[in-house]
Amino acid sequence: MEKKSGTPQEIAYDEIKDFFDSAPPLRDGNTVCKKLHEFLETNSSSTGNHINNYRVVCVTSGGTTVPLEQRCVRFIDNFSSGHRGATSTEYFLKAGYSVIFLYRRESYQPYCTSLPDNPLLECFEMTDESFVQVHPSHSDAVKKAISNHQAAVKGGHLLKLPFCTIFEYLQILQLIATSMKNLGPYAMYYLAAAVSDFYVPWESMAMHKIQSASGPLDMRLAQVPKMLPVLRNDWAPMAFFISFKLETDRDILLKKADMALKKYKMHVVVANELLTRKEEVTVVTPTGNISVRRDKTKGVTDVEGPLIKLLVEKHSAHIEDSIKCS
C-alpha cells in the first residue's frame, strides 16, 4: 500500500501493509470478487445505469474472532449478536437500498431475528413419517421471513458475505470498498460490526493447539491497525460513513463518539451503551446530537426503524451536496 502525500498523518500505512501481507490468504477471495462484481452489475443494469437510482450500503454485522492457533482450536470472541446489523439490513432494503451484508457466520440474519433460536427444530413439525409442515403458531413469521428474504435475494438487492476472523473481515471489507468505489457518494458504509482491537499476528501464532501442560499462558496481543481512516480516505473517499461507538461507561460514551467523528471524519457516529443498546442510541453528527429511542407505546418496536430513516435522509443530503460540489 503506497503512502499518499497529503493524506492524514494518523494513517499507519506500514502497519496496515504488514497486517495484510502477513494475513493468511482469503480462501475464497476470487468467488467473493465475482459475487460482488455480479451484484453491482445487476443493480446498475436494473436501474438502466442511472446512478442516482442506485444506492448501495455495506452493512457490517457481528463480532470478529481472533484465532490463537493457526490450526485454530481456541479464539478470542466478543458479545456482538449481529442483531443490529440484521435488523438494519431489513430497513435499508425497505428504503430501496441494495445491501452488501458482511456478517459473522452464525450471527443473526435479516428477516430471522423474530424467529425462535432454533427455527428448523422449533418452527416445523412432522405430521407423519414423510410430511413436514410449519407449526401453526409460527406459520405467519416463517412465511414472512421466507418471502421477504427471497424477494431481496432474487431481486438482486441482498448479497450476504460471511466472515469469521479479523483477517477475513478486513480482507473482505477491502474487496467491497474496491468494488463499490465507482458509486461515489451513492455508497454508504454502516459499520455496526464489533471489530477486534487486538490480535495475534499470523507469523507469531502457534501452528498447533497450545498445550496446557506447560502451565499458565502468557500471550502478547498486537494492536489491530486502525483501518477506518484508510477506508474513509483512500478506499471510499466519496462515500457516506456511519461508524458505531460502544462503551459500557455512559460518562465517556458521547465524548469518545465525538472524538471518533472528528478524528476519522465520519458523517455520523452512532453511540450506544452495552446495556441499553436495544432501547436507545445517540446519533452524533457535526451539526449536533439526536437521540433515537424505541417506544413501543408509539408503535416504534425497535431503534433501527427510526435510525435508518434518519440516516437515509442524511445520506440524501450528502448526495445532493456532493453533486453541487462536483
Helices 13-22 and 166-180: angle between axes, nearest 10 degrees:
110
Do the Cβ atoms of 62 and 82 come closer than 8 Å?
yes
Q: How far is the CB of 232 from ligand 9Z3 (least distance, A)?
A: 12
> In the window 62-121, what residues touch ligand 9Z3 (CB under 6 A)?
80-84
Contact status: 244 vs ligand 9Z3 (CB under 6 A): yes
Strands (E), 158-219: 158-163, 187-191, 198-199
Q: How far is the CB of 65 from ligand 9Z3 (least distance, A)?
A: 13
Q: How far is the CB of 298 from ligand 9Z3 (least distance, A)?
A: 22
Contact status: 192 vs ligand 9Z3 (CB under 6 A): yes
Nearer to ligand 9Z3, 197 or 295 (CB): 197
Q: How far is the CB of 125 from ligand 9Z3 (least distance, A)?
A: 30
What distance in Å separates the CA atoms of residue 282 and residue 246, rounded to the nearest whole number?
Answer: 11
Q: Point out which span in 3-11, 179-187, 191-199, 291-299 binds ligand 9Z3 (CB under 6 A).
A: 191-199
Do the Cβ atoms of 289 and 283 come closer than 8 Å?
yes
Those residues with Cβ within 8 angstroms of residue 162's Cβ, 6 or more apart along the chain or in another chain: 103, 104, 105
Exactly one of 99, 246, 292, 303 binds ligand 9Z3 (CB under 6 A); which one? 246
Contact status: 267 vs ligand 9Z3 (CB under 6 A): no
Q: How far is the CB of 34 from ligand 9Z3 (least distance, A)?
A: 28
What distance in Å separates the CA atoms of residue 53 and residue 186, rounded to the nearest whole number?
Answer: 9
Distances (CA, A) of 133 to 116, 117, 142, 151, 225: 16, 18, 11, 22, 50
Type and span of the H or E element at 124: strand 124-128
Q: How far is the CB of 262 from ligand 9Z3 (least distance, A)?
A: 14
Beta bridge partners of 194: 63
Nearer to ligand 9Z3, 217 or 274 (CB): 274
Contact status: 253 vs ligand 9Z3 (CB under 6 A): no
Q: What residues make contact with ligand 9Z3 under the rule CB under 6 A? A: 80-84, 192, 194-195, 243-246, 272, 277
